[in-house]
Amino acid sequence: MMADYKVITPDFVNLHISTSNSDIPSFNDKRFPKDTTIADLKAKLELITGGSSATMQLEGYSKDNKLICTLSDDSAQLGQYPLEDGMRLHVVDKFSIKNELDFGNVPKFELSDELYANKADSLRAFLMRNKLGHYNEDNIQNKEKLKKEEQEICEAVVLGSRCKVEIAGAATRLGCVMFKGKVEGLDGFWIGVKYDEPLGKNDGSVKGKRYFECPMNYGAFVKPQNVLCGDFPEEDYDLNEEI
């Protein structure tokens, strides 16, 4: 009796993205879930290409650049179309959002603020619709709150104190606090730690500027929220001990 076999296909597809606007370069392969609806796919492509999800049309091309399908049903899923890894997804649109950013020195027709605010395909509408930049008030407030909390944690850390550094995905490390404050070229506040073992990334300096002294690979700069100060005695590493 023959066994039943089931063909299993990947849940994602990698597609090369191109556009009908010759001024917009093509994009390297993007990975999309096959269960994404075409409407949601257009919303993602709006962020990638600058086209408008309300007006764009999508075409699928084979690896030898032959048109194989038109993704015209917004309620359909991407996996319902015969698209495979390495094929090309072509975005056809007027790219009015992108064009607003690329007018250069060419004289442009300027709308009044009232008329511009009512345009559905303007850059402002695009930013507001996706809650980007200064149109995302919650994000701005959260960032300011986090920065303030980070500064408060940093100021509370005592120089010279023993500490434990815990970062997601990395082993816990013990050391001593050698620096706290701003680091040139890096955003926010930082804690400079001299580790008990050579598990760091530097010698207490960043881009040629020194913040504290320690041997190479014993130093590290970590965010204040990843540092816990306390009674953490240096462990005794007996290199001669064998098991």
Write the DSSP assignment of 15-30 as a string of letters. Answer: EEEEES-TTSPPEEEE
Q: Would you state the pLDDT for residue 108? A: 47
Assessment of whether the complete model's pTM goes beyond 0.85? no
* Assigned superfamily of 153-229: CAP Gly-rich-like domain (2.30.30.190)
Which residues of the chain have a pLDDT value below 50?
1-3, 5-7, 99-109, 111, 116, 239, 241-243
Q: Which of 12, 190, 22 is nearest to 86 (CA)?
A: 12
Region(s) of the chain under CATH 3.10.20.90:
9-135
Give CA angle at 87 (73, 57), nearest 5°: 30
Helices (H), the chain: 38-49, 96-101, 113-117, 123-129, 137-156
- Give the three-state DSSP class for 68: strand
Region(s) of the chain under CATH 2.30.30.190:
153-229
Q: Would you state the pLDDT for residue 100? A: 45
9-135, what's its fold? Ubiquitin-like (UB roll) (3.10.20)
Distance CA(131)–CA(195), nearest Å, equals 42
Q: Would you state the pLDDT for residue 160? A: 95
